């Protein structure tokens, strides 16, 4: 797609039109930023919490995001979800599944859900994600959840732009190994072993705890391992509590 360069004054006008009440203008700005790397979005000092949700496909990341939204909406918080699929140039597939998972929230005006198209290479994705996060912050959402599709190098790269990284795992999927290969264990602040209604969840949590002890950690935060069944919102209060605690620790 060829995009005509946007005059700086028009872009500034576009930025000014962004607000919580005006999701269309936010969506428009995101499309413009995605298609035109020269459009700069400065970082704003906002109260927005930016949280990454990563882990292998099928572990329950979208289900977790859905549970987080339900709980945080009941507290009156506003939420944006950015679905990132670095393997697909269009991200259509990722969002299609999420439409079902996040179904009930698609109609809520205080929940902004968007998939992030990638420019097909790592550098492009990073530049885009940074701009998009800054645009959503500009709108003033309380929380931004950045959900990745899998665990690979590009996901690790994307997680550099969030403040709190939640790694979701499920029992018996061998994602411990996958995650450690990709370097996800090193960047996780909170580990959620989901599907605790299934066999082997506490074993997975124990294994995880012992492997976490092997890697060096900064002194101000010890990674937390939680158990939960997000399909039933089991453990959601603990997860939100952990996210809040981590937020406090990095202030
Ligand atoms: N048994 C069980 N299944 C779950 C739970 N959470 C999610 N699932 C299921 O796991 C599958 C993948 O979930 P999804 O959220 O799409 O995973 P994602 O690919 O990581 O986003 C779906 O069929 C969910 O219904 C849970 O707590 N327990
Ligand atoms: Mg998903």
CATH number of 105's domain? 3.40.50.300
Asked whether residue 67 is domain-assigned, the answer is yes
Which atom of ligand 1 is nearest the CA belonging to 56?
Answer: 20
| pLDDT number for residue 96 | 46
Region 62-80: what's the mean pLDDT?
Answer: 95
Of the residues 55, 97, 205, 231, which should be mutated to test ligand 1's pocket, given the most ligand atoms within 8 Å of the CB?
231
Model confidence at 185: pLDDT above 90: no
- Is residue 42 left, alpha or beta, with left meaning phi > 0 and alpha meaning psi from -120 to 50? beta
Of the residues 55, 56, 63, which should be mutated to test ligand 1's pocket, given the most ligand atoms within 8 Å of the CB?
63
Asked whether residue 183 is domain-assigned, the answer is yes
Q: List pocket residues of ligand 1, CB cut-off 6 Å.
A: 55, 57-63, 97, 101, 194-195, 197-198, 229-231
- What percent of the chain is modeled with pLDDT above 90? 51
Q: Which domain holds residue 95?
A: 43-114+141-249
Asked whether residue 5 is domain-assigned, the answer is no
No. of helices (H) and no. of strands (E), the chain: 10, 7
Asked whether residue 189 is domain-assigned, the answer is yes
Asked whether residue 21 is domain-assigned, the answer is no
pLDDT interval class at 116 (50, 70, 90): confident
Which of these ranges, 44-48, 66-70, 141-145, 186-190, has the smallest mean pLDDT?
44-48
- What percent of the chain is modeled with pLDDT above 70? 81
- Whole-number Å distance, alpha carbon 231 to ligand 1 midpoint, is 7
Nearest CA to ligand 1 atom 27: 229
Region 206-234: what's the mean pLDDT?
Answer: 85
- More confident call, 226 vs 184: 226
Asked whether residue 47 is domain-assigned, the answer is yes
Which residues have a Cβ under 8 Å from the Cβ of 166 and sit 6 or more positions away?
A: 51, 52, 53, 54, 64, 188, 189, 190, 191, 192, 239, 243
- Whole-number Å distance, alpha carbon 4 to ligand 2 midpoint, is 34
Asked whether residue 170 is domain-assigned, the answer is yes
Which of these ranges, 51-60, 158-167, 179-188, has the smallest mean pLDDT?
179-188
- Whole-number Å distance, alpha carbon 18 to ligand 1 midpoint, is 34
In contact, 82 and 146? CB cutoff 8 Å: yes
Which residues have a Cβ under 8 Å from the Cβ of 15 and sit 6 or more positions away?
A: 29, 41, 135, 138
Which atom of ligand 1 is nearest the CA belonging to 232?
Answer: 27
- Whole-number Å distance, alpha carbon 169 to ligand 1 midpoint, is 10
| pLDDT number for residue 92 | 44
Tens-place pLDDT, residues 75-103: 999 999 998 876 555 444 445 445 555 66
Region 150-175: what's the mean pLDDT?
Answer: 84
| pLDDT number for residue 27 | 92
| pLDDT number for residue 152 | 76
Which of these ranges, 53-62, 92-101, 177-186, has the smallest mean pLDDT?
92-101
Which atom of ligand 1 is nearest the CA belonging to 147?
Answer: 21
- Whole-number Å distance, alpha carbon 87 to ligand 2 midpoint, is 13
Looking at residue 160, the DSSP 8-state letter turns out to be: G
Asked whether residue 25 is domain-assigned, the answer is no
Mean pLDDT across the chain: 84
Domain count, the chain: 1
């Amino acid at each position: 797609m060829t995009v005509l360069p946007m005059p700086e004054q028009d872009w500034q006008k576009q930025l000014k039109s962004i607000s919580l009440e005006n999701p269309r203008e936010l969506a428009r700005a995101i499309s413009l930023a995605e298609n035109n790397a020269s459009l700069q979005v400065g970082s704003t000092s906002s109260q927005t919490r930016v949280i990454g949700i990563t882990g292998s496909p099928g572990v329950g990341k979208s289900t977790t995001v859905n549970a987080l939204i339900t709980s945080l909406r009941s507290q009156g918080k506003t939420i944006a979800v950015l679905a990132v699929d670095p393997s697909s140039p269009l991200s259509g597939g990722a969002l299609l599944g999420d439409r079902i998972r996040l179904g009930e929230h698609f109609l809520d005006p205080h929940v902004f859900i968007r998939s992030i198209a990638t420019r097909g290479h790592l550098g492009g994705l990073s530049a885009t994600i940074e701009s998009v996060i800054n645009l959503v912050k500009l709108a003033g959402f309380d929380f931004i959840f950045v959900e990745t599709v899998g665990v690979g190098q590009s996901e690790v790269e994307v997680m550099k732009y969030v403040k709190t990284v939640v790694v979701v795992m499920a029992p018996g999927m061998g994602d411990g190994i996958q995650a450690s290969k990709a370097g996800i264990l090193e960047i996780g602040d909170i580990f959620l072993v989901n599907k605790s209604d299934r066999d082997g969840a506490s074993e997975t949590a124990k294994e995880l705890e012992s492997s976490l002890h092997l890697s060096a950690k900064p002194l101000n935060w010890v990674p937390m391992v939680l158990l939960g069944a997000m399909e039933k919102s089991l453990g959601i209060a603990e997860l939100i509590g952990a996210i809040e605690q981590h937020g406090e620790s990095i202030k």
